[in-house]
Every structure is written in structure tokens, then in C-alpha cells.
């Protein structure tokens, strides 16, 4: 680059074969943009073309960053200059001040910084604006006999209609005072336009990707915090909102709603009708609520209303009465007029609770009082929530009991109604208390669930149950074992690795383990819980939906669950021979489960007549006191051997047989 005035080398090249090469390189760079190549390789190709085809020693593209700095994205040419440029960053507002004085349209024009005493040599000419160099530009050191100085450069601002200033294309100018030609500047600006297009396209693509990611995150957040059937806020979002209100010092009244006779709707009209009824609750209740209220669904037939700012009982009472009146208007389902009642429990926070956990527990207590008393509406009363004295300090005793090995599983047999053979056992925890004797789960599970003990207790029961199952296999008792999981266990990220590690530790095949989960447990953090359950079933573990019919009843979700069996709640099994409604419900559940390829287990079987009725309905497996209560491992194995010795009994050996 020895001469720039008159017939320079660059000008001659542009008029000859090299000029054609420059235009070809420009076209190829433009093609890179259109085919959507990565930004960095495209910019590197552009600066390389500028150096190779326009005769400059150094070319660079600096791109604006979110923090307001221009940083080097691509540099070609002189190695020392490349190093300094790559490591440099310049405040964006300094460049913007210079560009604001230049041509406002198009890519922005070429800005030439000169020392102040050379300013008079050049004036604005077309797209070229000559300006003194800002003093805070970083210097570039000498290389050999040439000095590449920041003030001896051409800087082309790169701008876009949507993002403003998005970068600067810079090239060096020799220090001999000679000036590049108009042809050279024109091509330089055209390369700058291509660079601006590449940056703009990359940013637009990033905006699209970011928008899609934001939308995906919003969708996942919505699924995690809203009920999948009604699209109302779930207990996850309700809990967050209660905690937020209390944290901000704002009082809130909480009304829990429990629908009565909802089981009969499912039993008589089917789960699809029950789902439609649940979906209609939102449009039915919302119009009678204050504009600031939030209506959510907790689980099954349980709904909840938050009333921010309400602290007077009379205000909450009026809303509860309005809600009851709205629900008591008959619903039309499949040509039938369905009448529902609703029991309302009311809590005033922070008076009745200082956290979402305490508020939700106490409003459930109040709802139970309203349901049992028939009053329809009940406010939380601490006297109705008094715990026995012997439960004081119970959590600490449970913790010590776990360490001492006092909490052990008993096993209740499960019998195949087709063959009469024992096919499995459910592990039910018992506490061998040192002073109070053997305690059933009802004596301590509430305390365990309320604290952080549920995880170590579940791990302990699982470990002991699998150890027992390994012993059964050694004793030629090839049956499966079932272990219950609570909602909080399903939310534990260690659940899957803990289960798989326990199976490996005891050498029990995964298909010999059944994990029992409740319908309501699936309401919490549904996507993550389903992912964990699917992971377990992929490894061979079986899943059973426990207490079916008392909680979440959406058919659309039931068919997506990775469960292999349904357990009919004992409250339906107990009266299956005496209440036609319960008999119809159980038969419906059996037909539904079989249509989905699932087995049906009836729990709470206490007599031969119930067993025969269940067998007639097509139930697959039964358990209950009719066979045996839950018992320690040694007694369980002895019971199995004795039963095998006397021969298996099928239900039709006891009562009439299967119709």
C-alpha cells in the first residue's frame, strides 16, 4: 500500500481483474448472509475479503454488546494489530456521538477520524464524514517501521432499523497522508452493509429463539402452577401467593370448598361427566367473587378461594355464602339435573396461620368440621385442632425411632382372584415404640408428613421391604412387594436414584417392586413428577394408583400415566354388597382399568361375600382382613407356607363362583 493519490494501486485494481474479484467476494459474502451461516464465520470472511481485495493492511468488525461496549468479533490482517483489536473494547456511547453527526440514513456513512490540525483538509463528501479522533480510543503499538494509529483509520458505523448501532467496520489508513479513492470507499461501504445485514440477521434469529424459549418456559411454568383439567391455579401457585401476601404484610382470607356427592356423579354418569362438572366450577363460582379474589383447585373435588386484604369474618362469611348459593344451582349433565352441596372452611391469616403450609392445613381442618357438622360453613377453631398430649415432641421421637430401627414394615398379602395364589404384599409401616407399644401409621404419619421425616422414613421402609423381598426369593416365595410414596417423596429429586440404588443393593429385579402413589399426589409439579415416574417404569418398576376414586379423576390424564394397576379405595369396597352406588362405581373402575390395560386391586376386603362380589365384577387382586392383617416378615412367610400347604382358595370356592 505505497500510494493512494491519483492512479493508485487500489484504483487500478478496481478497474481491472481485481475489481471483479472484489465484487465477486462481496457477492459471496452476501450469499453467506442469505443462507444463514453462523455470524462469526461470516464476519471473518467479510474482513478477510476487505484485506485481500481492497488492499488494506488490517480490517476489523466490532459488534455492540448488551453492556454497551463494542468488542472485536472478527479481525484480519496485521498480527499485532489483530491482537490489540481483539483484546480491546470501546464504550458504545462514544461511537454513537460521532455517528449522530454523520449521515443518519443507510448504514450510517463512513466516519474518518483525523488529528485536529488535519480537519481542514477534508470535508463532508457524500457518504464520507471526517471527524477528529476521540481521545479515549485505545492506541495501537508500532509494528516494524509502520505505525498503525487509531486516528489513521476509516470507521464505518453499522446500523439497523430495529437495533440502532450494532457495530463498526474499521480499516487502517497509511500514515503517508494519502487518501483512498471513491471506488475503494464505495466498496468498503458495501462490505459494511453486508456486515450490518449479517449482524442484524443473527440478532433477529436470536430474538426469535429467545422469544420461543421464553414462550416454552412460560408454558412449563403454567403447567407446573395450574390444574391440568380446569386450568385454575393449582395448590403450588396458591401456596406461593399465600406466602407472598403474608410476607408483604397483607391479610388474606382463605376459603376451601369441598363438593359433596361428587363421588356419586362419577359412579352414575362416569368420569367424563365428573370432569365436565369440575371444569364448570370455575365459570360458576368466579362471577360471585370479588375482583381481587383468586379461585384455584387443590385436588379432586376440592377448590380454594383467596381473598387478599380481607380480615373481617363477616366479609369472608358473605363470600362463602355467595359461593355456596352459586354451587347449589343445579348442574345439567347428560340430560340430568345434578344437585350439589358444598362445605366451606374459612381461615383468616395471619391470625390463623403465618405460612401457606399452616394456612392450608388449618383451612382443611375447618372444612372437615363444616362437612361433619352439616353447617355448610365453618371458621377455623384452634379447639377443633388440638392434638393429644402424647403427640408433643412426637417428631423428635420418630427421628430417634428411625435411628434405633423401631419403625419396621409389616406385610399384608395380596391374592390373585383368578388363581387364588398369593401374588404380592403391601409394606405397611409400624412403630415399635419403647413405651407405648406398637403404633399404627395413623398415630404418627401426620407428624412425619408435616416435617422433613417423610424422606428418611420412606427410604428406610423401602430398604427393609426390598431386603425382605430378597429373602422371599431365597425362600422360593417369588412375589412382588408394594411400597407407598407420599406427595413429598414424588417431589424429591433423589427419588429415582434412591429407588434404583436400593434395588441394586438387595439384588431384587425392578419388576418385583410396585410403588403406590395417590391421585392427589399427581397434582403437584406434574411434569417433573411424571418424568420421574416414567424413568422408574422404564427401568421395570411397576406403579399403582392408590385410593382410586377419591381424588384426581381426569380420564385424559389417567390414560397418560405410566401406571399398571388401580387400587380401589376401601371406602367403596367396604359397602360393595350393601350400596348399589358403590357397586356400580367399583364395576365402572374395573371396566375402565381393563380398557386401559391395567389391573384392579381391591383393598379393605373383610368378608367372603365382598370377595365374591368383587370376583364377579372382574376384579383382579384383593387384600384385606378376610385374608390376613399386615404382619411382620417372619409371620408373613409362615402364613404363605401354611396357605401353600393347605391349598389355595378361590372366591368361587367360598360363594357361588364367577357368573
Give the pLDDT means over successive 10-residue stretches in the chain (659 positions).
31 42 59 61 84 79 72 75 53 43 39 38 35 41 32 69 76 60 74 83 80 82 84 89 92 92 74 88 94 91 94 93 92 82 92 89 88 84 64 80 95 93 94 89 80 88 96 91 87 88 95 86 63 91 80 57 86 84 87 90 91 93 92 92 68 44
pLDDT given at position 391: 56
pLDDT given at position 588: 87
User: Of 601, 599, 511, 519, which is closest to residue 558 (Cα–Cα)?
Assistant: 519
* Grid cell digits, residue 3: 500510494
Query: Which phi and psi angles does 67 have, rounded to 5°?
Result: -85, 10
CA distances from 381 to 258, 352, 367 (A): 18, 9, 11
Residue 470: other Cβ atoms inside 10 A: 17
Interatomic CA distance for residues 76 and 49, integer angstroms: 9
pLDDT given at position 524: 46
pLDDT given at position 453: 87
208 CB-near residues (< 8 Å, 6+ apart)? none
pTM over 0.85: no
Query: Which phi and psi angles does 546 have, rounded to 5°?
Result: -85, 155
Peptide bond into 350 cis (omega under 30): yes
pLDDT given at position 201: 81
Per-residue model confidence as pLDDT tens digits over 525-550:
467 778 888 999 999 999 998 867 65
pLDDT given at position 128: 36
Task: Answer positive or negative: Cα dihedral of 207, 212, 217, 218.
Answer: positive
296 CB-near residues (< 8 Å, 6+ apart)? 227, 232, 233, 234, 235, 237, 238, 303, 304, 305, 306
- In whole angstroms, what separates CA 358 from the centre of its chain? 25
Task: Answer positive or negative: Cα dihedral of 117, 120, 122, 127.
Answer: positive
pLDDT given at position 573: 87
pLDDT given at position 401: 94
Interatomic CA distance for residues 306 and 290, integer angstroms: 10
pLDDT given at position 94: 42
- In whole angstroms, what separates CA 634 from the centre of its chain? 44
pLDDT given at position 222: 81
Amino acid at each position: 500500500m505505497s500510494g493512494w493519490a491519483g492512479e493508485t494501486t487500489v484504483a487500478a485494481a478496481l478497474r481491472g481483474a481485481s475489481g471483479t474479484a472484489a465484487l465477486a467476494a462481496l457477492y459471496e459474502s452476501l450469499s453467506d448472509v442469505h443462507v444463514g451461516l453462523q455470524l462469526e464465520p461470516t464476519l471473518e470472511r467479510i474482513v478477510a475479503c476487505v484485506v485481500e481485495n481492497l488492499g488494506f493492511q488490517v480490517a476489523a468488525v466490532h459488534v455492540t454488546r448488551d453492556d454497551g461496549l463494542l468488542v472485536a468479533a472478527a479481525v484480519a490482517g496485521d498480527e499485532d494489530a489483530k491482537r490489540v483489536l481483539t483484546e480491546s473494547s470501546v464504550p458504545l456511547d462514544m461511537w454513537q456521538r460521532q455517528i449522530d453527526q454523520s449521515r443518519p440514513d443507510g448504514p450510517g456513512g463512513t466516519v474518518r477520524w483525523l488529528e485536529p490540525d488535519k480537519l481542514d483538509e477534508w470535508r463532508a463528501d457524500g457518504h464520507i464524514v471526517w471527524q477528529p479522533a476521540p481521545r479515549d480510543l485505545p492506541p495501537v503499538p508500532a509494528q516494524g517501521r509502520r505505525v498503525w494509529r487509531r486516528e489513521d483509520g476509516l470507521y464505518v458505523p453499522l446500523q439497523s432499523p430495529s437495533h440502532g448501532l450494532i457495530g463498526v467496520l474499521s480499516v487502517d489508513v497509511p500514515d503517508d497522508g494519502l487518501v483512498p479513492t471513491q471506488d475503494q470507499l464505495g466498496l468498503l461501504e458495501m462490505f459494511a452493509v453486508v456486515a450490518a445485514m449479517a449482524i442484524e440477521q443473527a440478532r433477529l434469529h436470536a430474538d426469535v429463539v429467545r422469544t420461543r424459549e421464553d414462550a416454552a418456559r412460560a408454558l412449563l411454568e403454567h403447567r407446573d402452577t395450574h390444574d391440568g383439567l380446569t386450568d385454575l391455579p393449582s395448590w403450588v401457585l396458591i401456596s406461593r401467593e399465600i406466602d407472598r401476601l403474608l410476607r408483604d404484610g397483607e391479610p388474606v382470607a382463605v376459603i376451601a370448598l369441598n363438593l359433596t356427592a361428587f363421588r356419586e356423579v362419577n359412579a352414575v354418569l362416569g368420569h367424563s361427566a365428573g370432569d365436565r362438572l369440575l371444569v364448570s366450577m370455575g365459570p360458576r363460582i368466579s362471577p360471585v367473587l370479588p375482583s381481587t379474589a383468586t379461585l384455584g383447585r387443590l385436588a379432586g373435588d376440592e377448590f380454594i378461594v383467596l381473598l387478599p386484604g380481607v380480615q373481617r369474618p363477616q366479609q369472608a362469611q358473605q363470600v362463602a355464602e355467595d359461593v355456596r348459593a352459586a354451587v347449589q344451582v343445579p348442574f345439567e349433565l347428560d340430560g340430568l339435573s345434578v344437585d350439589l352441596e358444598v362445605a366451606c372452611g374459612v381461615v383468616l391469616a395471619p391470625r390463623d396461620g403465618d405460612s401457606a403450609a399452616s394456612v392450608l392445613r388449618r383451612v382443611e381442618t375447618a372444612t372437615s368440621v363444616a362437612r361433619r357438622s352439616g353447617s355448610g360453613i365453618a371458621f377455623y377453631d384452634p379447639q377443633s385442632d388440638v392434638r393429644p398430649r402424647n403427640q408433643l415432641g412426637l417428631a423428635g421421637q420418630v427421628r430417634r425411632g428411625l435411628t434405633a430401627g423401631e419403625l419396621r414394615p409389616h406385610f399384608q398379602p395380596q391374592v390373585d382372584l383368578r388363581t387364588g395364589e398369593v401374588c404380592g404384599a403391601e409394606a405397611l409401616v409400624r412403630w415399635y415404640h419403647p413405651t407405648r407399644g406398637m403404633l399404627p401409621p395413623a398415630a404418627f404419619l401426620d407428624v412425619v408428613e408435616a416435617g422433613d421425616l417423610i424422606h428418611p422414613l420412606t427410604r428406610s421402609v423401602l430398604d427393609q421391604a426390598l431386603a425382605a423381598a430378597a429373602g422371599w426369593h431365597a425362600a422360593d416365595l417369588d412375589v412382588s412387594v408394594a411400597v407407598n410414596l407420599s406427595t413429598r417423596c414424588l417431589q424429591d429429586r433423589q427419588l429415582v436414584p434412591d429407588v434404583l440404588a436400593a434395588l441394586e443393593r438387595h439384588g431384587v429385579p425392578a419388576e418385583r417392586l410396585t410403588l403406590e402413589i395417590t391421585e392427589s399426589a399427581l397434582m403437584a409439579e406434574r411434569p417433573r413428577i411424571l418424568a420421574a415416574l416414567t424413568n422408574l417404569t422404564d427401568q421395570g418398576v411397576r406403579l399403582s394408583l392408590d385410593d382410586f376414586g377419591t381424588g384426581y379423576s381426569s380420564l385424559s390424564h389417567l390414560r397418560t400415566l405410566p401406571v399398571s394397576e388401580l387400587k380401589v379405595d376401601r371406602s367403596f369396597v367396604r359397602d360393595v354388597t350393601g350400596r348399589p352406588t358403590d357397586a356400580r362405581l367399583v364395576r365402572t373402575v374395573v371396566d375402565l382399568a381393563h380398557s386401559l390395560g391395567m389391573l384392579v386391586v381391591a383393598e379393605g376386603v373383610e368378608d367372603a361375600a365382598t370377595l365374591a362380589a368383587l370376583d364377579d365384577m372382574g376384579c383382579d387382586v384383593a387384600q384385606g382382613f378376610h385374608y390376613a392383617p399386615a404382619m411382620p416378615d417372619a409371620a408373613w412367610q409362615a402364613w404363605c407356607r401354611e396357605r401353600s400347604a393347605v391349598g389355595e382358595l378361590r372366591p368361587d370356592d367360598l360363594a357361588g363362583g364367577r357368573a
